[in-house]
Each structure stands twice: as C-alpha cells, then as structure tokens.
Amino acid sequence: MAYPPAAHPSPPRQPSVKVILAAADVSRVVDRIAHQILEKTQGAAGTVLLGIPTRGVPLAHRLAARISTFEDVTVPVGVLDITLYRDDLRRHATRAVGPTDLPPGGIDGKRVVLVDDVLFSGRTVRAALDALSDVGRPASVQLAVLVDRGHRQLPIRADYVGKNIPTALAENVKVTLAETDGTDEVKLYGGTPA
C-alpha cells in the first residue's frame, strides 16, 4: 500500500515590519512640532519641556534645541520619572526608579509641555500627570508626542502630534532615537505580509 507523501508544514509567517519614519522624517517631524509649540505658546514664553523617560527625554532636548534655533529662545528642559505612578507596576517586571530632574526655576506657574515618543492607551500620560502634581503646580499642561497610534483607554489627547499612525491592537510601534538606540526611526511591527 502506498502512502501519500508527507506534508511539509509551511514555515510560519513572520510579522511584517514597515518603516513609518526614517531619520530625515523624524528630523522634519521634530522641526514641525517645535514650530507648533512656538505658535501655540506665543514664542514659548513661560514654557518648560519635561521629557518622559526613556525616549521622551532626548525628544524634549531636541525640541528645545530647535526652538532655540528658530527663535533664539531658551526653553528649560527637565525629566519627569513616572515609574512609581504607573498603574501596571504589579503586572510587569520591576523597573528601576529614575531621576526626576526639574529645570532651575521649577514648574510652578509655568506652561509645562510633557514630551513622549508614542501615545497609545494614555496610561503613561495619566501617570505623568500624577507625578507632575507631586513636584509642582504648573499653570497649564500640554502634551507633545512623536507618534499617536490610537487605541486610547483614557480621555487623553496630545496637543502636538508628529505623526498619526492608525494601528491594530496587535501591532506595535517602535521608536528608536540616535541618543538611546543609535539611529532615528519609527517602525510598525505586526500583521502578516500579504
């Protein structure tokens, strides 16, 4: 009796990877956000940029540098660590607590622009707002993000968005920056190739 040839399983499909922003695109997006901050804040008077670690910190420094180039204005930059304010501490591996470093002059009575790389559920921003209330009382708080990928779980929106990227929940957006990763790029991971 002859047996049919053994079926060879197809190799599993690899998730697709798509470059959304290359290095030159990231630079243009940062320039655009810097211009928008200048316009919306009347020349960035009384404005402080606070980066949310990890990639929000170098983005805040880049924005401050571009604002200075465009308008010869020095915008103070600081770091706001949100580790202890996250609502997922029990669900994920232990994180090291980083420093919160406010610029000289603090944030009281200032317009604070929180800076982060990706806006997704809104939970990071909620944690940042909680952390902010423990370090001072700003006159107002705004949000600048390089990428907004949607799927909010909280009623939070960004005031300045570099790129809106519609995504599926199963997809991931990965931002790499020269300061932290060696290169500037935004990639979308997920789905399967056609």
The whole-number mean pLDDT for each consecutive block of 10 residues of the chain, a chain of 194 residues, reads: 60 80 98 98 97 97 98 97 85 77 97 98 96 97 98 96 96 97 97 56
Q: For the chain, where are the E strands, in sequence order? A: 16-21, 47-51, 77-79, 111-119, 140-148, 160-164, 172-176, 185-190
133, part of any domain: yes
Distance of CA 37 to the CA centre of its chain: 16
- Is 117 contained in some domain? yes
Question: What is the secondary structure of 126-138 as a DSSP string?
Answer: HHHHHHHHHH---
In a domain, 42, yes or no: yes
Report CA dihedral (120, 123, 129, 134) to the nearest 10 degrees. -140
pLDDT at residue number 96: 77
Structure confidence at residue 192 (pLDDT): 56
Give domain status of residue 108, yes or no: yes
Give the pLDDT score at 97. Answer: 85
32: CATH: 3.40.50.2020
Q: What domain range includes position 61?
A: 17-84+102-189
Domain total of the chain:
1
Q: Is residue 121 part of a domain?
A: yes
Other Cβ atoms closer than 10 A to 137: 11
Residue 96, in any domain of the structure: no
